[in-house]
Structure formats: structure tokens, C-alpha cells
Amino acid sequence: MPSKMALVDFGKCNPDMCESGICAAVEACPHKLLKQEVPGDIPMTNPSLCRGCGTCAQACPAKAIKIVTQ
């Protein structure tokens, strides 16, 4: 059965669009699987743990996250 996961488009991602450089998608992830080292950094996903719920994609103001099927 195919699984879903979040992918960050690094070309579209702009953490400065989020309040204080803190990624809105990181804050929105209900499973806390999207990580941002410091404010202003591009967030990273953990594909092996991501559940593909899409909450992060909906929260991203730059529309830089999409849910894909593996």
C-alpha cells in the first residue's frame, strides 16, 4: 500500500514569511515530525516517520510543502 509524506520545495520555502522566522508548518505538525534547527532555517521532514496528514502543507504560507505518495 502506498504511503504519503510531506516534501519541502526548497526553492519556494521562505521562513521569513512566517512570524519571527519560525516555520508555521513546523508549529502546525500534530506529530512534531517537521523540524527547524533555528528560526529562519528551512524546515526538514523525516520521510520515514511522516504520516502525510497534510496539516503542514495547509499551514505553509509559501505553499512550499506538498504531500506526495511514495
User: Is 70 inside any structural domain?
Assistant: no
Cβ atoms 22, 10 nearer than 8 A: no
pLDDT of residue 47: 81
Number of domain units in the chain: 1
User: Is 54 inside any structural domain?
Assistant: yes
pLDDT of residue 2: 75
Q: What is the pLDDT of residues 7-61, one digit of tens each?
A: 999 999 999 999 999 999 999 999 999 999 999 999 998 888 999 999 999 999 9
User: Is 22 inside any structural domain?
Assistant: yes
Helix (H) or strand (E) holding 27: helix 24-28
pLDDT of residue 66: 95
User: Is 36 inside any structural domain?
Assistant: yes
pLDDT of residue 48: 84
User: Is 18 inside any structural domain?
Assistant: yes
- pTM of this prediction? 0.89
CA atoms of 62 and 14, how far apart (whole Å): 7
The enclosing domain of 46 has a CATH number of: 3.30.70.20
